[in-house]
Structure formats: structure tokens, C-alpha cells
Structure 1
Amino acid sequence: MRKPRSSARSHLPREAAQLVWLSTGLSRSGGKLEDAYWEPRLASAVDELLRDDNEADLTAALDQLFEADGPAHDELADMVESRAESTRLNHDGKVWDVLLVACPVLAWSRFSIPAAPLAAETLGALKAQLAGHVLAKNAKVALANFLFSPDQLPRSFCETFQITCELGVRALTGRDFKLNAKDLPETNRFLSDTRYLLAAVAVPQGEALFRWNEPDGDKDKALAQWIAQAGPTVETLLPGCAFQPQLPDAYHAACRQTDQASRPYSLRAAIAFLQTTVNLEPAAMKAVIGPFHDQRLEEYRIGLGPRDSDDIYYGVVWPLLGTEDDNAEVVPEIEAILAEAGFQDVTIHDHRFPLEFCDDCGSPLYPNKEGELIHAEMPEQPAHGAAGGMLH
């Protein structure tokens, strides 16, 4: 996934300089015909660096353009993402298009949200559900045998390309991709988080990839059918969790869409968590919203607690994503979620808060009604119940 780049290089390696030149040319193109000149040349240069596992030159070019030329940076970022998540393979005398697909699931639980290997029968069920409701009729599919947390996903464009190729070969040869779980990092524990299934889809060159690419396909219907049919299988992977499957899609697009969806989901999960653990209904809660800045507005933090106390029991971080800035309609969206839940006491601070964290545990600090930054602390009280099933 594209990331903000922090610094420019004055002396670029030759391959990185070539990417800068090609991306600049594409960003300044005057029409489709000129695009058709630049795009294959840029794609070929990116492909070579991905095959050579040359992340450093990809990063150097993105760094340079992030500082110097925003439109060219976006063209290069789009191309690198596209080439990392797709490839073409020859098999049985045909050329096949291969796409890395992410199948995200939003989840929350008072307990740990699992990230674990998948049994063979589970892989078989998920592949059948993907083939029946999400993928085009001529698609072949292979799944990795693991339910990934965000910090276990590929960390670079070159790693993404490697897993695209490895899974693509398995899609064409009818095998699944067996990971060694010991090679993956431990995952952090959060109340609300995302889990991912990773698959490669292979279709004959130029054919439809997804069910909604076909003449009688519909994206909303595909999502509804995926939730209905895959939901029971996903539930076995997430015991003790509330969960919400998202639409499987191309890897980077699915990750971005899920980042967006995870923000309101996390807020709703926090409200449900307080209801189930301390028996605090939304009408008896307060919410305090504040904007937090570093060099720019980075995020909003929402403190939740009882109306009749200054305490903040739990907090939610709502990060800004992509091109969002001070002008984004974030606060009205947060207010709408709180109103829908039944909140009657909402305080919105409009002054800048510093991006501060607890010195002892590193947790974010949240605003109270008086505009002070305090630690969110749950009361010492026995828990009641557990999350389970889908959260809508």
C-alpha cells in the first residue's frame, strides 16, 4: 500500500531516475494516445525492479516524487501497486492474468482476535464460496492457508509481488499456498482489528476476473452472497468475535477500502464493548472528540465514558487517510454514528491537540470535556458476556 514518503534524494540511482522520468512523462501526458506511449515503458521498468527484489530504487523514486511532483508520484504509486499485485503466467499453452486478492474481515472481541493457520477443509469451503459468488466463471483460485493480521501482510512491494507470483502458480496448478506460521510476526492485540484471507485469481488473458465484471454480475449482490455463504465458515475462524466480512477485491484496493470501513466499525465496537462490559448504555455515555496534530492534522481521538463522571473509560483513534485533511467531513461522520447509537452528550473541541501518548504504556491520551488530555481507564468491574456473530 502506498505510504507517505518522508524525504527526497538528490542523487538517484540510474533505475530510480528512470522511474522518475517515466512517471513525470505520464503525469504530463495530454491524452490516451500519449498515455499508451508512457504506460508500458513505466510498467516494464517497475516489473524489472520487482523481479530483481529492488525495493530500494522503487522507494527512492517515490521519495523523490513525493517531495517534488505530486501528480507524478501518484502515477508511479498506482503503477507500482498494480504491478506488485498482478502478473502474467504461461500455463498449458495459454497466457493467464493473475491478480492478488484480499478478503478482509472486520472483527472485535474482548478476547484475542485469532490470526492462525487454516485447515484444509476450511480452505476448500472458502474457495468454493469465492468461486460461486465472487469470481468470474473461468477463474482459478488458490488461497494462502492463514488468516492474517495487518502486521503479518507483505511489508513491501517486492514481497507483495513474490506472494502474487507464488499464489498465481498454485492457482494454475490446483494447489494452495502453505505458509510456515513460525515465519510470521506475532500480532498485536486490539479490541477491534482486521483479518485478511489472501488469494490469487487466474483467468485466461483479457477475461473477466470478478463476478461483477460479467454482463449479469452485480457488486452489491456479490457482497451479500459472500456474507451469507462465507459467513458461517468465517465464524469458525473467529470464535468469541463479532465480525463483518468485506468485499474481496484487488489487494491494495481492498486494504484501502477496509481502512476506511474500520474507522466507523471500531467506534461502534467500542460502544458495544462498553455496553457489554460495564452495562453502560449510549444515553448514559458521553463522547469527547478532539483533533490531534503533528506537522498536520493526523487523527481525531474520541473519548468515551459515563455522562455523570469526568472519567474516560475507553478511546477510539480515527486516523486521517490518503488525501484527507482539515477540510474532510470527518466530525459530521463521527457525530452521525454517535447519534445513531443513541448518544445525547457529545463535546467537540476545535483547538489543536498535540499527538501525545502515555509515557508509561504508550497508549494514546484522550480529551475530556475540559480539553485536558487524560488516560482512558476502564473501571474495575467483572465483565459481562462476549462478542459473537456479525456486527452490522
Structure 2
Amino acid sequence: MAVHRTKSSQRSSPEVERLVADAISLAASGSQIEDRFWEGRLNTRLMRLLKSQNQNVIDAALDQTFRINTVAFEVLADIAETLAESLTLEIEDQQWDVLLLAMPIVAHTRYQIPSGPLPVSVIESTAAALQASIVSTDTRLAIIPWLYSIDQMPHSHCQTRLLTESLANAAVSGGEVKLELRDMSETIAVLADPRFVIAVVAAPSGTPLFRWQAEPPTRQERGVSLIGWQTAMQEPMGSLLPGCEFELLLPEAYFTNCRLADKHVRPLSIRAAVNYLETTLGILPAGLSCVVGAFGEEQADEYRISFSMKGSPEIVYGVIWPLYDRESVANDALNDVSDDESPIKRICDALHEAGVEDVFRHAMLFDPELCDDCGAPLFPDRSGEAVHAEMPDDAPTQQPLFH
């Protein structure tokens, strides 16, 4: 997805350089009038790239600004995401503001987290809950009849823009959502993962999209909206996710909620892994050892967490803790737990909360290796080697793999 870091070879093309220069200029601006000038330039350049489906240039510019100017990166990322997930549509002399929504359900299980077609009853319940608790009056909706896994979501700004455009017309005109959903990619079996319902909300331009934007007495704070949403959707989602524990997050803009759901699921992945190993191998959390290492080519893109039985060097299971565009770790602080907000501190806290006491942290940056035979990620052992995680031969066979 576009919320993840990208590696691109097109780093010196004129289009990339112009995007980077304009983003740096906007980041350095000292007034709103200058802000509007640079924003206009960036909007024009990015919209041209989105319309021509030229994602490589956008990715390369994001990669370059991330490395040289984090403020400019934030500026460029925010504008690219805004253009991909929102638009203004005019139909019958009426202008509509349209926003692509992601409605995350963060789930964990010992079995399998479902995805696939949404029954009509669940779509109707979703629409009713949105209208009752989330969206403002006079808004219109179009809901995709599919429960998405992260693997099935749009993977770029360009793909997201196409999805927003296709749903916008359906929402405003009240027409049918026309998407090809039969050839969705297979969902990887993992123990903890987000699921998403995707929709667009449209409101007459200049009017509120959400209840928390409205004036009293219609106004409703986000916390109240979230409680209403969770209460209304608990039963419909429970029918779709048997055998799963799950939490419904507040429906919000697409990219914001993709990041939020992915971050929210990371500690759940650790808890689910510990529960799985306890059930499958009969080992209490205190009987597990973990090794944590940062992986990436030039900088940390993710941490990989290895699980073994205490006293054994064999890695039996692995969990990946990805880092996202707005997270970075200096190469000399990969195992530094002095900062409460650092990823490694959050990982160690999640392991300790799950009952794992023995945690070893590597200070080195590992190459992001995968198994040549099966493509599975390799995980660090205590000696500093990246190895295959393999359950004992006598362990019961179950479906979940890695996260």
C-alpha cells in the first residue's frame, strides 16, 4: 500500500526533482499566501501523475524527501494522499465533496480471520450505523460489498484515486457500485490482522461530512460517535468473524485509518503469537524467549521478532513489526529502549505484557532476507544469524503462519 515505504530507482528524473523542490519550498514557507502558491503547484503536478497512473514518480519523490527532509516528506505525503482519497464532483449543477472511508476491524484469532463478500444485511447495517453515528445529515454513501484484507486493498495513490472516482458517482447518483471483486488476491493466513469495509461519503460542497463537524444540536463528539458505531456494528461484524476477538475503529479517511489499523494490530500480533504457542506447544509465556532485530536495506523498515523455547536456540515462530512512513529509527538507536515512543520500546512492552520475560535486542541492522525456497521471512537468532522459523516436528499442524 502507499502507506508503506517504497524503494524506487527513478530518483533523478526532472519530474521527481520538481516534486521534491516544491515540497521543500512548501515546508519552508512562512506564510499562508505562500503556502497556497506551493500547494497549487504540487496539486497540479500530483494530479497530472495520478491521472496518467505514474506512481513511480510519486514513490521516488516520497522516498527522496523522506531521506533528506522529513518535514517536506510529510507535506508531500499529505497532499498525495488527499488527492487520492478525496475529490469534488459536480452533478446537475450541484458540487459534492467526496471522501474515501476505511472502516477498520482489528481482529485476532487462533484459527483464521475471514474476508470476502459482505451479505446485504451487513451492508444495510453498516449504512444505518454510519448515518446514525458517523456521517452528517444530507450526506450520501456508497459501500463496497466486500470485507477486505490488507492484501486486497489498493496498493498505491493511483489505484486509490481510481477507486475514489468510481465510488463517487455511485454515492452521489445513488447508482450501483460497479467493481470487479471476483479476482481478489488470496488472503495470507495470520493470527492478527485488520479487516476493512470501504465506502465513500459525499456531502454538498461546504457542508459537513461528519457529525463532529456539524453545529449543535446535530454535533456529536468523536468519542460518542465511536461508541455508537461500535455498539451498532458489534453483532453484524461478529456474524462475519466467528472465533475472532475484534475491535471496531472509528470510520475515517482512507490513508489515516490504514496506518492506524496497521499500527493497532502490531501488539495484537505479539499477543496472538504467544497465545498460539501456548496452545500449540503447551508452553507458558514465561517459558518463551524472544530475539528482536531491525531489518532494512539502508535504514530500519521493520523489526522481526523471533520466538523460541527458553534454553533452546531453535526459532519456532516469527512476528513482523512493520514501520511506516511517519516512523523512523536512527541506525545507532536500533535497540535503544530509553525513548518510550520508540518502536523497540513498544515491542518490548508488548512482549512483557504478553508474559514473555526473556527478550534479547540486537543493535545491528539485518538485511531483509526471505527464504529462497518458500519466500517466508527469515528471523534473527541470538547469535545474529537470520534463520527460518520452524515449529517442532511433533507440533500439531494448524493454519496460521506469520505476521
Does TM, normalized by the shorter one, top 0.5?
A: yes
Query: Is residue 251 from structure 1 mapped to residue 254 from structure 2 by the alignment?
Result: yes
Q: Report the TM-score when normalising by structure 2.
A: 0.84
- 1:151 aligned partner: 151
What one-letter code is carried by the residue in structure 2 that aligns with 1:38? W
- 1:222 aligned partner: 225
Query: Is residue 337 from structure 1 mapped to residue 340 from structure 2 by the alignment?
Result: no
Query: Is residue 366 from structure 1 mapped to residue 379 from structure 2 by the alignment?
Result: yes
What one-letter code is carried by the residue in structure 1 that aligns with 2:348? E
- 2:128 aligned partner: 128
Between the aligned partners of 1:351 and 1:49, the Cα distance in structure 2 is: 38
What one-letter code is carried by the residue in structure 2 that aligns with 1:102? A
Between the aligned partners of 1:42 and 1:241, the Cα distance in structure 2 is: 44
On the 8 A contact 1:144/1:176 being kept in 2, the answer is no
1:122-149 deviation per Cα after TM superposition (whole angstroms, max 9, x unaligned): 2111111122222223322110111112
Give the superposition deviation at 1:297.
2.5
Computed over aligned residues only, the root mean square deviation of the Cα atoms, in angstroms, reads 3.0
On the 8 A contact 1:22/1:42 being kept in 2, the answer is yes
Give the superposition deviation at 1:385.
12
Identical-residue share of aligned pairs (%)? 38
Between the aligned partners of 1:152 and 1:106, the Cα distance in structure 2 is: 16
Between the aligned partners of 2:147 and 2:182, the Cα distance in structure 1 is: 14
256, 263, 267: which one pairs with 2:266?
A: 263
How many residue pairs get matched? Answer: 384
Matches within 5 A, 1:169-180: 169-180=169-180
On the 8 A contact 1:145/1:179 being kept in 2, the answer is no
CA 1:347 to 1:25, structure 2 compared with 1: closer, same or farther past 3 Å? closer
318, 325, 328: which one pairs with 1:324?
A: 328
- 2:185 aligned partner: 185
1:228-265 deviation per Cα after TM superposition (whole angstroms, max 9, x unaligned): 22122112222333322222210111111122112112
1:83-132 deviation per Cα after TM superposition (whole angstroms, max 9, x unaligned): 11101112354211000011122223444432211122221111111222
Partner of 1:183: helix, strand, or coil? coil
Query: Is residue 238 from structure 1 mapped to residue 251 from structure 2 by the alignment?
Result: no
- 1:6 aligned partner: 8
Between the aligned partners of 2:46 and 2:307, the Cα distance in structure 1 is: 46
CA 1:280 to 1:223, structure 2 compared with 1: closer, same or farther past 3 Å? farther
CA 1:303 to 1:63, structure 2 compared with 1: closer, same or farther past 3 Å? closer
**Range moving further from structure 2, 138-147 or 170-179:** 170-179
- 1:285 aligned partner: 288
Give the superposition deviation at 1:176.
4.6
**Range moving further from structure 2, 98-107 or 45-54:** 45-54
Between the aligned partners of 1:330 and 1:105, the Cα distance in structure 2 is: 23
What one-letter code is carried by the residue in structure 1 that aligns with 2:190? F
CA 1:32 to 1:133, structure 2 compared with 1: closer, same or farther past 3 Å? same
Matches within 5 A, 1:1-392: 1-2=2-3, 3-12=5-14, 19=19, 22-55=22-55, 58-59=58-59, 62=62, 71-214=71-214, 216-322=219-325, 323-326=327-330, 327=333, 329-379=342-392, 380-382=394-396
Between the aligned partners of 2:176 and 2:149, the Cα distance in structure 1 is: 19
On the 8 A contact 1:278/1:383 being kept in 2, the answer is no
Between the aligned partners of 1:11 and 1:21, the Cα distance in structure 2 is: 12
